[in-house]
Structure 1
């Protein structure tokens, strides 16, 4: 009897949270789905228009390609950075951690405008290249600019989960392997690196899914060939007022992302990646 009463009390405490989730998350999703099949007229016309146009399909493909490249570059940069944090002294570890966290204190829009000044034809990067005798390199309004801007934004989301995993690994395992005759590089890749896979997997999933919805950075640093679906949705909403089609775009992105997550769950243990299991 006491257990049932306690269960009801805990259930009553969860009611405000459930109501909040219903109002803030479920209701907008249901409304978006309904609008996608009723605006401007009932039916699947918005989805048919998307799949019948190679332009829109190309935007979706470009979105996943860009997100994949950003994820790859971010992991390649974040892994050694996180490993360096595990080797550094407490002082320098704090400095490296601060360098990772400082971008969180700066507006994304401000950082993107700063990249525009740095990457433009007369910016700092091309000024240095010209001073060294080279030709200016186009780094703005193309894929290179989008990658640079997005990687800078997403790097902390890769470093932090990888570092959280690395700091739990006993480095005496490497010493034991080297004591048994293994070369340091062999010991690192055969013993240490596999133990970091939960952190790397979590970072990969977090960066990739977050990159799919980018709007500001691709819109300001990219060109007409680098349009991502987030930018296309905004164009449909504010430019041509096609609310139903914009809702359909959002639903398509949500469904495709969900399918990819399901496929990823069959390959890796997402609960373990996110700390939900042993």
Structure 2
């Protein structure tokens, strides 16, 4: 008998916020969104097509050979980083769901402490490791594996390695969340039905954890598209990425309209990737 008044009171409380009240509650967020995102993006778009008159020459300039190759290189590196992060991050996330106590604390610390460290510091650490007189070359020379120092830095391999190191936690955490949400009874039921541990993983655990893999891959890919500090420090002229190119246009050549065109195209590509990912996830029935 007492359940009906409670339900009615809950319904009245849920309906007490009308359109005006909801708009007032959202107004601080909407103002922040307008000032911090909508206005700058609109200004950026206007700058790219109006300098001083209406023109699309900056976008045509971006489509030319060298700059188009920079965009292609950026997408290839971002995809490579996301793929390597997935291969390396999944076993770590799997391990984190299986360990307890001090081991779990140690693994978690190894994942989170790098996230709390400045990207600039981690990038410089890779320079110390990979430079001509760095630790890696000294070790290889000391063991007699090489006769002269190798060029391990200022190339595409160094950029990918350093970016994977920085972005790996953003892959591990979503995968860990997906694995942790899978009921333990499913793997036990699979084992009781005669499936081996490998078959249980392939047919049960891996498919159910794919939303975490997809989410982590999207996060890493989008972050890698706009990465600036690490490619600028560890990479060279042959590994120029879009974010670094935008920085050069703003700080060195002061070509703001061209930098605005580059930024608009990069933002559009990021939004397109996110929309396609969302559609794919909805089509596959995972979201």
Of 139, 142, 163, the residue aligned with 1:150 is 163
Matched, 1:20 2:35: no
Of 206, 212, 217, the residue aligned with 1:193 is 206
2:221 corresponds to: 208
Of 190, 195, 211, the residue aligned with 1:177 is 190
1:106 corresponds to: 117
Residue by residue, what CA displacement relative to the aligned partner does 1:216-265 show, whole Å, maximum 9, x if unpaired?
10011011111000000011111111100000001111112222222222
Residue by residue, what CA displacement relative to the aligned partner does 1:17-38 show, whole Å, maximum 9, x if unpaired?
1011100100000000000001
Of 241, 244, 260, the residue aligned with 2:257 is 244
Deviation at 1:75, TM superposition (A): 0.8
| 1:28-177 to 2 correspondences below 5 Å | 28-51=40-63, 53-135=64-146, 136-177=149-190
- Look at both structures and tell me which one has the larger radius of gyration over its CA atoms: 2
Matched, 1:11 2:57: no
RMSD value, Cα: 2.0
In structure 2, list runs of 5 or more residues that go unmatched.
1-11
Deviation at 1:98, TM superposition (A): 1.1
**How many matched pairs?**
273
129-138 vs 246-255, which moves further = 129-138
Corresponding residue SS for 1:269: helix
Question: Partners in 2 of 1:253 and 1:5 — Cα distance?
Answer: 39
Corresponding residue SS for 2:55: coil
Deviation at 1:39, TM superposition (A): 2.1
- The TM-score with structure 1 as length reference comes to 0.92
In structure 1, list runs of 5 or more residues that go unmatched.
none
Deviation at 1:50, TM superposition (A): 1.2
- The TM-score with structure 2 as length reference comes to 0.89
Deviation at 1:95, TM superposition (A): 1.3
Residue by residue, what CA displacement relative to the aligned partner does 1:160-181 show, whole Å, maximum 9, x if unpaired?
1111111111233223222222
12-21 vs 255-264, which moves further = 255-264
Question: Partners in 2 of 1:180 and 1:201 — Cα distance?
Answer: 29
Question: Partners in 2 of 1:9 and 1:157 — Cα distance?
Answer: 37
Corresponding residue SS for 2:165: helix
Corresponding residue SS for 1:139: coil
Deviation at 1:137, TM superposition (A): 3.4
Residue by residue, what CA displacement relative to the aligned partner does 1:56-76 show, whole Å, maximum 9, x if unpaired?
000000000110111011111
Question: Partners in 2 of 1:193 and 1:121 — Cα distance?
Answer: 42
Deviation at 1:115, TM superposition (A): 1.0
Matched, 1:269 2:282: yes
Question: Partners in 2 of 1:164 and 1:173 — Cα distance?
Answer: 17
Residue by residue, what CA displacement relative to the aligned partner does 1:92-113 show, whole Å, maximum 9, x if unpaired?
1111111111112221111111
